[in-house]
A and B are shown apart, each in its own frame.
Chain A
Amino acid sequence: MTAHHKPRFVRDQRMTMVTGILAFVVVIVILQLWLFTATVNAVLGGDWNIAWPAALVSIVCLALNLGLLRYLYQME
């Protein structure tokens, strides 16, 4: 162990992890896109009951993404 800061993971590991996190984040955002499209479609059709549950799910997705991003920065 040297005196200076040493990352927890070596570079190849971090590269693999950032790619994996990128894949997760992309999938979650695509889910959010689908959710937003379905919500707007339902709302325009007069079904407003879906608005709040869909908003909560989207916020959970955002929280997941922020958690993954935070982990990415903590990893360095």
Chain B
Amino acid sequence: MNQNGDMIQSGIDKNTDKEEWTHAPDGRPASEQPRWRQDFPIDWRRDEYVARRELVKFIVLTSAAFAAGQVWVAIRRIFRLSSVAPAAMVIATVDELAVGGAKTFIYPEGGAARLLVRTGEASFVAYDQACTHLMCPVVPAFAQGKLHCPCHNGWFDLKTGAVLAGPPQRPLPKVFIEIRDGQVWATGIEERAS
């Protein structure tokens, strides 16, 4: 410790450059500093330097996390390309629903919940039941020709699944429907960009 000078040594040899020395925070000479500071002289400028360096290190860690997330998304694309299209399955009978009636079903097996709506004597539509905003289940508003998400007042067109109003940015994923021998079949899922 430097008892005579007006600086506190920063933990390195006193022959080093003056820039490597630091003042106490109150600017008084070392001999006038309280005992605890004389016993444990903290090099405040070095402390600040190390704090910034550690902050850089932490932000680089965040950068690594973002890169890992991007790679994860890209790897999911590979699995997606190699996955097969879901098989067709019966989800209802034609007589089961009156015009304007709706039914939820799971398609494909173990997959997401979908919503089937009968829009006419021989016409059905089916979409993902999860709103594309924050995954709340949508409900049919048949009289208005719309699907409604009550959570944040999102509205979709019943015939196309397109967004009409509210916070959703993307249309509802559509399920392909076919009528075969009085049965309603789900035959695939249409991916749609916003």
Contact = CB atoms under 8 A, between A and B. Distances in A.
Interface of A: 2, 4, 6, 10-12, 14-15, 18-19, 21-22, 25-26, 28-29, 32-33, 35-36, 39-48, 51-52, 54-55, 58-59, 61-62, 65-66, 68-69, 72
Contact of A21 (B16, B48, B56): B56
A6 to B, nearest CB: 7
B174 to A, nearest CB: 11
Given A25-B59, A29-B59, A18 B52 contact: yes
Contacts of B170: 44-46
- What does DSSP make chain B's interface, helix, strand, loop or mixed? helix
Given A2-B15, A2-B16, A44-B170, A25 B76 contact: no
A72 B80 contact: no
Contacts of A35: 66, 70
Contacts, number: 118
Interface of B: 12-13, 15-17, 19-20, 45-46, 48-49, 52-53, 55-57, 59-60, 62-64, 66-67, 69-71, 73-74, 76-77, 80, 132, 169-170, 191-194
A10 B76 CA distance: 49
- What does DSSP make chain A's interface, helix, strand, loop or mixed? helix
A66 B60 contact: yes
B60 A25 contact: yes
Contact of B63 (A21, A32, A39): A32
6 contacts: A6-B17, A18-B52, A26-B59, A45-B194, A55-B73, A69-B60
